[in-house]
Amino acid sequence: MTSPHLSERALQEAAESASLLPAPQVAHLRGCLLCQGRVATYRHLLTAVAHLPQPTFSFDLTASVLAQLPQTRPAFPWVLSGVVALVLGVVVAFLALFGPLLAPVFQSLSTGLGAGLVAVAGFFVAGQCLELLARHRRQMRQLAFS
């Protein structure tokens, strides 16, 4: 055998993959038991390194990091506020425009019936607003803890 033995770098490359070597070195390796043994040593070494146990912390890093994160304030419910403002605006405009027309109608009805109607309407509007608010909070909670 006349060709020189593989260099240390070539041995490492051969241990990773023989395809990394140029053809003359591959040919040498095929016929040289000494180089084959050296490559086997590297291969064994690299396999053992790859299988070394992974280091771990003795505590839950994820929980620890999440506990340290700066608390983000929930965003102001701009959409919900806009809807409420729009509804209120429509109601106020309606009363401003048709209030004088509606007043005689209500005056002609008994006071009790009028008060009842106003109360029902008030409860209805309040209920809708509460439901909207509750739904918004539910969505925010799902986003925050999903």
Partner 1 sequence: MSNLPTSPATDQQLVAQVLGGNTAAFGQIVQRTEGLVTQMLFKMIHHPADRPDIAQEVYLKVFKNLAGFKFQAKLSTWVGQITYNTCLHYLEKKQLVLVDLSEHKPDDSSEEGRSPPVSLVAGPGYDPETALFDQDLATILSTAIEQLPPLYRTLIALYHQQELSYEEIAQITSLPDGTVKNYLFRARKQLKQHLLASYQRDDL
What are the distances in angstroms from CA 139 to CA 58, 87, 129, 132? 35, 22, 16, 11
34 binds partner 1 (CB under 8 A): yes
45 binds partner 1 (CB under 8 A): yes
- Near partner 1 by CB under 8 A: residue from 2, 22, 23, 52: 52
Inter-residue long-range contacts of 54-60, CB under 8 Å, 24+ positions, other chains counted: none
If the CB atoms of residues 8 and 131 are measured against partner 1, the closer one turns out to be 8
Rounded distance between C-alpha atoms, residue 5 and residue 11, angstroms: 9
> Which span (2-10, 76-84, 87-95, 123-131) binds partner 1, by CB under 8 A?
2-10
Rounded distance between C-alpha atoms, residue 52 and residue 56, angstroms: 12
> Which span (50-58, 78-86, 92-100, 117-125) binds partner 1, by CB under 8 A?
50-58
Rounded distance between C-alpha atoms, residue 39 and residue 43, angstroms: 6
If the CB atoms of residues 7 and 81 are measured against partner 1, the closer one turns out to be 7
5 binds partner 1 (CB under 8 A): yes
If the CB atoms of residues 22 and 55 are measured against partner 1, the closer one turns out to be 55
Name the site residues for partner 1 (rule: CB under 8 A): 4-5, 7-9, 12, 33-34, 36-38, 40-42, 44-46, 48-57, 59, 61-66, 68-70, 72, 74-75, 143-146
